[in-house]
Amino acid sequence: MSLKLEEMAVSSPLVVVGSVNADIYVEVERLPVEGETIAARSGQTLPGGKGANQAACAARLSYPTFFCGQVGLDGHANLVKDALASAGVRLDHVNTVDSPTGHAVVMLQPGGKNSIIIVGGANVAWPKLEDGISRLTANAQQLIKRAGAVLLQREIPDAVNLEAAKVAKSAGVPVIMDAGGAEGPIPEELLKHVTVLSPNESELARLTAMPTNSLEKILLAAAKVQEMGVQQVLVKMGETGSVLVSGKEPPIYQPAILAPTVVDTTGAGDTFTASYAVALIERQTPAEALRFAAAAASICVRSKGAMPSMPERKAVLQLLKEHPLTEEKLSPPDEKVSRFLQCRHRDGAAATKIETPNRVDSKPNGFQGQASPNQHMPKVMEGLKIGIVGFGTFGQFLAERICGQGHEVVALSRSDYRDVARRLGVSFHRDVNAFCDEHPDIVIMSASIISTETVLRSLPVERLKPDTLFVDVLSVKGFPKQLFLTILPPQFDVLCTHPMFGPNSGRASWAGLPVVYERVRIGEGARMDRCNRFLDIFSSQGCKMVEMSCGEHDVHAAGSQFITHTVCRILGKMKLESTPMNTKGYEDILRLAETGEADSFDLYYGLFVHNPNAVQELQRLETAVACLKKELFGHIQHTSGEQAFSVAKRVAEVSMC
């Protein structure tokens, strides 16, 4: 069943209000001079726009992301919307207007450097504010009020940004604004509503009318921006790195993690800003967030195109493992600091160590109270070792997301999935002893309902760690709970879960999808922390976490999941076919029939056999069909004799078939 986004229980999503463009790339040896015509080596059109890029980046980092913007009625609109949807961005707040979709001409030179010309189009065609009516819909305003952060840029009118910032600030939601996209000054009223302003060096110079050709001067210019009302200033300095100026705290410097080969820098700034926003909502410290953003930007510049080059979380975490923490907390501006910046180091480490930062775990200024402890990703160095028993389609689906969050995955299956495991970065075993000797912290039982008991009894659990956490992901709950409590040693922890989605419904995003769970038997202290960190794998993706007993789950599941499967299978048995006069409702029925045929009968049989409430629901369904038939045939007596005879004859003919 589809739900409106406003009805989804998504915890602290990132909301991007901004621009969406079609980027028309032309590769040239050099820029033309005035009056000159030159030939391009190649050209292509790719999705882009600062707002769309940042939304796509956040979504590809597996964070729940919503985009608010405008497109036109043209082919470019389909290009960019399809790209955003493929990245996992929610598009319910994208409006279509009577203007062409925004587009940009990107002149790409050797070495990845670029020059860009923007045509605003639909991005600048927002309605005028009249009679106090908001440019943002009521639904968009409600979305902003429950966001973890709002991300803005300057490729849409400042008035729209101001309205979004006011709504966010009124709800205590941090506002991060990329200063790129327009050359004019930023209105002071808008700056007063911005938590973090992120300019590059040239944008900072334009904003302050101050030089920015050394770190000392950059810090002075950033201080001036703070005087305008901005709490924090995050300056992007390209291959030199970045620096965060935050209140009275010493500035934090993060060197760039330089790519071996730079192909295209177009999306690097957008990637950096969006990644930093995601990291902060996830409660990483400012220093950790800078490092996370630096890694994401480093991956981005290695491919052509802004949006197509946005990295996935797994790649970012892998790069972070390869580059030790190198951020620096800077002393007040002095000659030494200037030399520090001007030394363009090539290895991603600080050229001169000025002062090693004291690590802090508190949230950055302006981000207090925006996320619960269960909403941040586990740090790379704290990754869990998670075993998956049953590495079929669903096991692989889970493994990909778990690996993407920096955890180590070990898989066990009778079938040979070595190639899939290698692609996902998973250690794979077909021998149960070898699997148990890996000593995972957590074991997920992902076998089918029918085979779970046999598989569980086959595990030499004495080879596992004595406090291993066992988790099931079955569609019934009372059955695995009883198995775990009967078969497993009493010192093992037990968590029963039901992620109510799969590879199809959860392909793009897990945001808003329900996960039902019961902490059946969990030890205290570190063992409870481990359980919560496992649940974090889902909650950090925006899943709707529902805690209830296994018995209560099965009552609800029989009335929803089992009946859904039953109706789908009944429709499949009817062999329905498409007609030249299909209605929308009939097409929905055809899709349900296809769904029933696609699911394995073993799954359906398991839902029936191992949920004690299923028989009662099946009887209710049969009773409902019988009552409906009785009601229909009861009306025959009210028709004329000839009509009644005709209907009775047709019923008899069908009964004989």
What pLDDT is recorded for position 582? 84
What's the total number of domains in the chain? 3
For residue 167, is pLDDT > 60?
Answer: yes
pLDDT digits (tens, 9 = 90+) for 30-72: 888 888 899 988 888 888 889 999 999 999 999 999 999 999 9
Please say whether the beta carbons of 21 and 54 come within 8 A: no
- What pLDDT sits at residue 272? 96
Helices (H) and strands (E) in the chain, counts: 23, 22
Boundary-marking domain end, from 312, 342, 372: 342
**Max Cα distance, the chain (Å):** 106
Band of pLDDT at residue 413, cut at 50, 70 and 90: very high
User: Are residues 558 and 538 located together in one domain of the fold?
Assistant: no
Q: Which residues are annotated as a binding site for substrate?
A: 21-23, 49-53, 155, 270
Binding residues: 21-23, 49-53, 155, 200, 236-241, 264, 266, 269-270, 300, 303, 305, 309
Average pLDDT over residues 313-326: 82
Q: Output the average pLDDT for the chain.
A: 82
Residue predicted with more confidence, 372 or 624: 624
pLDDT at 290: 94
CA atoms lying within 13 Å on the CB side of residue 210: 16
Cβ neighbourhood burial of 592 (10 Å; 0-12, 13-18, 19+) = middle
pLDDT digits (tens, 9 = 90+) for 574-601: 888 888 888 888 888 887 777 666 666 7
Residues 526-558 pLDDT 10s: 999 999 999 999 998 888 999 999 888 888 776
Split at pLDDT 50, 70, 90, the class of 144 is very high
85 and 91 in contact (C-beta within 8 Å)? Answer: yes
Most confident of 56-65, 637-646, 648-657: 56-65
Q: 300-312, pLDDT tens digit by residue?
A: 989 877 788 899 9
Q: Are 533 and 560 part of one and the same domain?
A: no
pLDDT at 568: 77
pLDDT of residue 57: 95
Q: What is the model's pLDDT at position 654?
A: 53
Tell whether 25 is covered by a domain. Answer: no
Pull the structure tokens for residue 56: 């796509």
What confidence score (pLDDT) does residue 580 get?
A: 86
Q: State the Rg of the chain over Cα.
A: 29
Q: Are residues 473 and 601 in the same domain?
A: no
Same domain, 169 and 153: yes
Q: Clarify whether residues 561 and 501 are in a common domain.
A: no
Region class of 633: left (phi > 0), else alpha (psi between -120 and 50), else beta: alpha
106-129 pLDDT, tens digit each: 888 887 677 888 888 999 998 876
Residue 376 located in a structural domain: no
444, 480 contact by CB (below 8 A): no
List, as residue ranges, the binding site for K(+).
264, 266, 300, 303, 305, 309
CA pair distance 126, 99, nearest whole angstrom: 10
Q: Which domain holds residue 637?
A: 554-656
- The answer on 402 and 329 residing in a single domain is no
pTM: 0.52
Average pLDDT over residues 201-208: 90
**Of 270, 472, 493, 536, which is the active-site residue?**
270
Residue 381 pLDDT > 60: no
Stated as kind and residue range, the H or E segment containing 233 is strand 232-236
Residues whose CB falls within 8 Å of the CB of residue 208, separated by 6 or more in sequence, listed in order? 221, 224, 225
Segment among 396-400, 619-623, 642-646 with least mean pLDDT: 642-646
Residue 564 located in a structural domain? yes
Distance CA 13, CA 277 (A): 11
- Residues 528, 576, single domain; the answer is no
DSSP class of residue 200?
B
Residues 273 and 318 in one domain: yes
270 is catalytic: yes
**pLDDT score of 327 more than 80:** no
Highest mean pLDDT among 431-445, 498-512, 613-627: 431-445
